[in-house]
Amino acid sequence: MTTFRAEAPAKINLALAITGRRHDGYHLLRSVFLRLELHDLLEVEVDAEVAHDSLSIDGDLALSDDNLVLRTAAGLRESIDPSLPALRFRLVKRIPVAAGLGGGSSDAAAALDLALQAWGVRLHPAERLDAALRLGADVPFFAAGHGASLVEGVGERLLPLPDLEPPAGLVLITPQERLPTADVFAELDRHPSVGSSAAGSVDEAAALLRESIDGMTLAATTAMLRDANDLWGPASRLSGELAAARDTAATILGRAVMLTGSGPTLFAVYPSEAAATRAAITLQTERPAELEGAAIMTTSTIGRGENS
């Protein structure tokens, strides 16, 4: 029996602007995404002996969004051929859940490709990206395989940006308290603002990457992106500890600390992963009360994947 495998990478939002809302309630965004080396692992095999798809999980078992793997397989089967055999998935979970790192969306993008491989089915690229969009706003980015991208609309418009070469290192700080994306957007809607305070920062971040910069240059310029996320306000209102965690981390690290996505993961950018690792050791050694229980990880940006 053939086993198909794929890595499902995390992402950060280098800058994120909420630019409006559609009539169906979906929020419109404009954001710069960077793909990370941190990844989940997903495997699949055809399981013709059973009637239903299955998913086993190693790692973080408190999952709310990884049924996207099964929903992906079920939706594809329905649209292609309901008689296609059942699939058995195994997920090794390394990306923190409900953390603003896109783990569930990335798992869905990987499941889409693995299901097609296992069934021996090929989709036209436009059909494949359309299937990805139906799964969630972040899924097309992962399905496209871009290392960096300007993402617009509800995630369906992707403009590839140059990769960071050499890559940047990152310290990721994920507080224990989870922030469901839906709750953060609901809080945003309860306190609407006129326009986006982060829109200009998205343009600045995209312009930086178009200059084909490296990790060192990005690390030296991220102070201007400290508040480049329109979801910071609602996320910090929902989590009373988030602002203190960011301020404390920034003081210890001596550099800007930012929020990715709807949070609660915070990140700081470094010239290399080695530099990020040294900084993470400092955080773990000092471990102030404001970061008690937080997961502290290091990773780096990565370039284009096979689908770009």
> How far from chain centre, in Å, is Cα 38?
10
> What are the φ and ψ backbone dihedral angles of 253, each rounded to 5 degrees?
-80, -20
CA atoms within 13 A on the CB side of 264: 24
DSSP code of residue 123: -
In the chain, what are the helix, strand and coil shares in percent, each to the nearest 5?
40, 25, 35
Q: Which entry of 11, 53, 66, 113 is annotated as an active-site residue?
A: 11
Helix, coil or strand: residue 80: helix
Q: Which residues contact 119 (CB under 8 A, 6 or more apart)?
A: 46, 80, 84, 85
Alpha-carbon gap, residue 133 to 124, rounded angstroms: 14
Residue in the structure block whose two tokens are 């798809």 = 53
Structure tokens, 285:
């050694």
The verdict on whether 203 is a catalytic residue reads no
DSSP code of residue 258: E
Q: Which entry of 60, 138, 163, 230 is annotated as an active-site residue?
A: 138
Which runs of E-coded beta strand occur in 121-254?
148-153, 157-160, 169-174
> How far from chain centre, in Å, is Cα 15?
13
- Taking the CA atoms of 271, 179, 158 and 130 in sequence, report the sign of the dihedral they define: positive
Helix, coil or strand: residue 34: strand
Neighbours of 271 (CB within 10 A): 18
Residue in the structure block whose two tokens are 């496209």 = 144
The verdict on whether 53 is a catalytic residue reads no
The answer to whether 184 and 231 are in contact (CB under 8 A) is yes
Active site residues: 11, 138
